[in-house]
Amino acid sequence: MIQSLRRLLLAAVLGLGLSAQAQNTNHLIFLCFGQSNMEGFPGIEAQDQGPVDERFQVLAAVPFPKLDRTKGMWYPAVPPLCRPSAGLSPADYFGRTLVAHLPAPTRVGVVSVAVAGCKIELFDKANYSTYASNAAPWMKGIIATYGGSPYQHLVDMAKLAQKDGVIKGILLHQGESNTNDKEWPNKVKAIYENLLKDLDLKATEVPLLAGELVNADQKGACAGMNNIIAELPQAIPTAHVISSAGCASRQDHLHFAPAGYRELGKRYGEEMLALLGYKVAESK
């Protein structure tokens, strides 16, 4: 009788272990970082506020009091995803595109940490403090919401997310503040490699997807930086550049319009689906 009870208990424990492992495997997590276009420019249209597939969730990287979101908890990915004051971003339609094509019970989770106007140097774990100390007061306020180090905050939130799933990719949208910086690809490489090391990830299993800035066809104020962004795969073999051609811009020619964010996010999603082995029709 005792032996039988032991076998039943062991089977139950093993069963729980297998179940947890399967749940983790089916929860795909993506880290998102950058500057204002990754934050999402304030202003969310009605069509983006409706119900979102509950398989697409966001880990609140900061508290969202008005949305009743607690830092470190998962919620349906209704924008804003980055911070309470942010708006629609590429991460929104990236996740929506993924869950629209991935079979149930696969879930998609995003973790977003971004700072408007920042140079890529703010995510340099070794030297960020020098840059941050000289930042404008409004930027220091954003940095403070991340405990003083956006990079470390991203790592801390990512480790929390890893308890529930597996990190399958990193999304970047940044460059406006580094326009004409030919060292940008190498600076991004250092950050990417630090993230892999600090989170115990393999480059071959966690690609980097970097979006172009507002394109020249939209009279992008920093469109010339796209030539430098195009060089990123030379520095990082597992990097992929997402085209912004045709993605609608706001009048400032720095930020995307909501339609532009939707299309750009969809393209991030289509690229990730292809890397995961799913074939979908590509956006033109």
| Tens-digit pLDDT profile for residues 207-264 | 999 999 999 999 999 999 999 999 999 999 999 999 999 999 999 999 999 999 999 9
What pLDDT sits at residue 279?
81
HEC sequence for the chain: CHHHHHHHHHHHHHHHHHHHHHHHHCEEEEEEEECHHHHCECCCCHHHHCCCCCCEEEECCCCEHHHCECCCCEEECCCCCCCCCCCECHHHHHHHHHHHHCCCCCEEEEEEEECCCCCHHHHCCCCHHHHHHCCCHHHHHHHHHCCCCHHHHHHHHHHHHHCCCEEEEEEEECCHHHCCCCCHHHHHHHHHHHHHHHCCCCHHHCCEEEECCCCHHHCCCCHHHHHHHCCHHHHCCCEEEECCCCCCECCCCCCECHHHHHHHHHHHHHHHHHHCCCCCCCCC
Average pLDDT of the segment spanning 137-142? 98
Kindly indicate the confidence band of residue 283, based on its pLDDT and cuts at 50, 70 and 90: low
What pLDDT sits at residue 15?
37
89 is catalytic: no
112 is catalytic: no
Active-site option among 4, 68, 200, 252: 252
Active-site option among 36, 112, 177, 244: 36
Kindly indicate the confidence band of residue 282, based on its pLDDT and cuts at 50, 70 and 90: low
173 is catalytic: no
Active-site option among 53, 129, 255, 283: 255
Can you list the domains of the chain with their CATH numbers?
A: 23-275 (3.40.50.1110)
User: Considering the entire predicted model, what is its pTM?
Assistant: 0.91
